Chains A and B, each alone.
Chain A
Amino acid sequence: MKGDMRSKGEKLFNALLFVLGTVIIYGSFQIGFGRFTKPGPGLFSFFCGLILCIQSLFSYVLKKERTENADVLKYPGAVKKCLFSIITLTLWIVLMPLLGWLPLTFFVTLSFAKMMQLEGWIKPLMLAAANTLFSYFLFGYLLQIDLPNVFWG
């Protein structure tokens, strides 16, 4: 019989799903089951939590083979790029009250273009400028959406 081939990350992820299931079950108890003749607001979520618990436990105990999708994180610098992407997206939200949406659209496009190794600085800057103009035309002019402006609002 083969040993457990799964990575630590996968097992941890599975365990976390089990914990989430128990939290949902506990939360459902707190909200209230009611009775079967008069079901309460926690009854349905209890069954969701129960399925989550049983199936994650089932996966944890019985599934031993490695299912890691090798395509995603096997490339050099992959984790760093993932983190960079997430930080860039988060900065879009955090800096919004300070800078407004147009400079941030420029910043996000430029960051992603550089991260994806678009050569030099001229092409990324041109792409960022073109995308900012396009966004302004689409969201600001055509759809007239009220987006946070800072300098020109």
Chain B
Amino acid sequence: MEIEALFDGFVIFLSFKYVLACAIGAVLGTVIGVLPGLGPTTTMSLMLPFTLSQDATFGIIMLTGILVGSQYGGSTTSILVNIPGEAASVVTCLDGYQMTKKGRGGAALALVAGGSFIAGTVAILGTQIFAPLLGAAALKLGPPEFLALMILCFILLSNLSGDSPAKGSIMFALGMWLSVIGVGPLDGVERFSFGVSELMMGVEFLPVAVGLFGISEIIVTSVAPYVPPVLEKIRLRDLYPNGEEIKRSVGPIARGSLLGFFVGLIPGPAAVISTFISYALEKRVAKRPQEFGHGAVEGVVGPESANNSACVGSMIPLLTLGIPFNAPSAVLLAGLLMHNIEPGPLLFQNAPQVFWAYIAALYIGNVVLLVLNLPLVGLFARVATVRPTFLMPIVSTICLLGVYCSRNSMFDVWVMIIAGILGIFFRIWKYPVAPLVIGLILGPMAENSFRKSLLMFHGTLWPIFDRPIALAMILAAGFFVIAKVTYTLIKKHG
């Protein structure tokens, strides 16, 4: 049945426009991954309006291509130039650039590409197997379980994003409050719109995301002086790793693939977290831990495999529960909602073709990325030398026009600029923006499950503890809080 559905997915995918969507997404994602500054969330937000003229399958394929491609691209500049293209490649700099200095940069790139391909395939297989099972199980979840899941998300995201849990929770609460603005869907009451007619429709996700990620990035980049990176030349024959390097990479790739997949199922910046855990794990199990920081191949392939796997795995909660656990999946959710497709347990009943075409696209996209990244690695590395002086003026107009054309609304452009200005202050005082955008998109679901739970239990929430799944989630949240407080106290008092 599932094989048949996957086959159908391939049949849908193998039409010209979906292959094109996949190729555009993969190339764009790789380029964005190579360029420091513009991350996958910004690019996915910017591309969102363009997907609106096409169907949902086209949108999800292109946006996922960008996300997965950025993980591939990010490693290139980390290894060759010592500049991480995006946050999930920071760890790769530690040993990747050291390998380049020893003349093994080409081998590192080849092993990372191979490792990322294997990790991506493992994660796709995991998604293919677990997502429909989880989707079926999620059909049995009611408002109390979703409320408990929201509480777990709130606790984990507040603690795992940024440098302080207080700031993370402030941003999450702010995002959820923004989602309340406008005419309430449950009772038709106008809330916090202050008489502004445009606000009665609510605050849209796209202008807020583009403002917070895109506009603030443009302004911050325009302020900083440009330092041109020094590029190491890589020829095709340099890409062959030797036998020992291959042997040393097998274990880290396998561990990174599994670790990344499971980290992807936890709320928070999964791709980034998985690289740090993988690096620490590889250092602990390595036969030669003293080589870490001086060009250990395990320290490059392990984290890079983990971030690719986490990136794919993090889509499972979105597809099965309709809940984004990080900023890129929040953008993907916004894209699906704009196409009137509601991800979650009913996705497998109402629009299974979207899911299976997505799986098919991931398989083929993974191959496309491998094929692209090996021979064209020199070209992609050269992209890192494109000056922001040329790039940012173009991105600024894409932000303006892209946000305007999503609803033909100048009010949205105002919202984007205000979000951009706030985004600069958030950067200055290190308030993480990911919880805000996730709060904004989760808000309606959180409110819905909160109010329905109260109605279900006649004004009290205590019966939540009688429901095993909800209880497990609340206990997990409580355990995390206790662990965090204990860790902080131990750290403070030595």
Residues of chain A in range 96-144 having any CB-CB distance to chain B below 8 Å:
96, 101, 105, 108-113, 115-118, 127-128, 131, 134-135, 139, 143
* Residues of chain A lying within 8 A (CB to CB) of residue B50: 143
Q: Smallest CB–CB gap between A16 and chain B, Å?
A: 10
* Stretch touching chain A among B290-298, B418-426, B473-481: B418-426
In the bound complex, what is the Cα–Cα distance between A40 and B187 (angstroms)? 8
In the bound complex, what is the Cα–Cα distance between A149 and B218 (angstroms)? 26
- Render B390-409 as a binary contact track against A, CB cut-off 8 A, 1 for contact: 10111011101100110010
* Residues of chain A lying within 8 A (CB to CB) of residue B218: 85, 112
* Residues of chain A lying within 8 A (CB to CB) of residue B170: 17, 51-52, 55-56, 59
> Which residue of the partner chain, among B176, B180, B400, B458, contacts A92 with CB atoms under 8 Å?
B400
> CB of A48 within 8 A of chain B?
yes
Determine if A82 and B401 form an interchain contact, defined as CB atoms under 8 angstroms apart.
no
* Residues of chain B lying within 8 A (CB to CB) of residue A109: 393-394, 396-397
Determine if A43 and B451 form an interchain contact, defined as CB atoms under 8 angstroms apart.
yes
- Render B206-238 as a binary contact track against A, CB cut-off 8 A, 1 for contact: 000000000100111011110000000000000
> CB of B101 within 8 A of chain A?
no
* Residues of chain B lying within 8 A (CB to CB) of residue A27: 191-192
Determine if A59 and B189 form an interchain contact, defined as CB atoms under 8 angstroms apart.
no
Q: Smallest CB–CB gap between B42 and chain A, Å?
A: 16
Q: Smallest CB–CB gap between A41 and chain B, Å?
A: 4
Determine if B223 and A112 form an interchain contact, defined as CB atoms under 8 angstroms apart.
no
Given contacts A44-B180, A89-B420, A109-B396, are A115 and B166 in contact (CB under 8 A)?
no
Determine if A32 and B390 form an interchain contact, defined as CB atoms under 8 angstroms apart.
no
What total of chain B residues lie within 8 Å of the partner, measured CB to CB? 63
What total of chain A residues lie within 8 Å of the partner, measured CB to CB? 70
In the bound complex, what is the Cα–Cα distance between A10 and B164 (angstroms)? 14
In the bound complex, what is the Cα–Cα distance between A1 and B91 (angstroms)? 35
Determine if A112 and B222 form an interchain contact, defined as CB atoms under 8 angstroms apart.
yes
> CB of A5 within 8 A of chain B?
no
* Residues of chain B lying within 8 A (CB to CB) of residue A49: 173, 177
Closest to B187 in A: A41
Closest to A81 in B: B223
Residues of chain A in range 30-63 having any CB-CB distance to chain B below 8 Å:
31-32, 35-45, 47-49, 51-52, 55-56, 58-59, 63
Determine if B224 and A71 form an interchain contact, defined as CB atoms under 8 angstroms apart.
yes
In the bound complex, what is the Cα–Cα distance between A13 and B429 (angstroms)? 9
Q: Smallest CB–CB gap between A10 and chain B, Å?
A: 5
- Render B357-400 as a binary contact track against A, CB cut-off 8 A, 1 for contact: 00000000000000000000000000000001110111011101
Extra 13 A-B pairs, beta carbons < 8 Å, given A67-B163, A77-B223, A118-B389: A24-B177, A48-B174, A52-B173, A59-B164, A68-B428, A82-B219, A85-B218, A85-B219, A127-B390, A127-B393, A131-B397, A143-B53, A147-B405
Residues of chain B touching chain A, judged by Cβ–Cβ distance below 8 Å, are 50, 53, 163-164, 166-167, 169-170, 172-174, 176-177, 180, 184, 186-187, 189, 191-192, 215, 218-220, 222-225, 388-390, 392-394, 396-398, 400-401, 404-405, 408, 410, 413-414, 417, 420-421, 424-425, 427-430, 446-447, 450-451, 454-455, 458-460
Residues of chain A touching chain B, judged by Cβ–Cβ distance below 8 Å, are 9-10, 13, 17, 20, 24, 27, 31-32, 35-45, 47-49, 51-52, 55-56, 58-59, 63, 67-69, 71-73, 75, 77-78, 81-82, 85-86, 89-90, 92-93, 96, 101, 105, 108-113, 115-118, 127-128, 131, 134-135, 139, 143, 145-147
Q: What would be 15 A-B contacts, judged by CB atoms less than 8 Å apart?
A: A37-B459, A45-B177, A48-B176, A52-B177, A67-B163, A72-B427, A81-B219, A89-B396, A108-B400, A109-B396, A112-B392, A118-B389, A127-B394, A128-B393, A131-B397
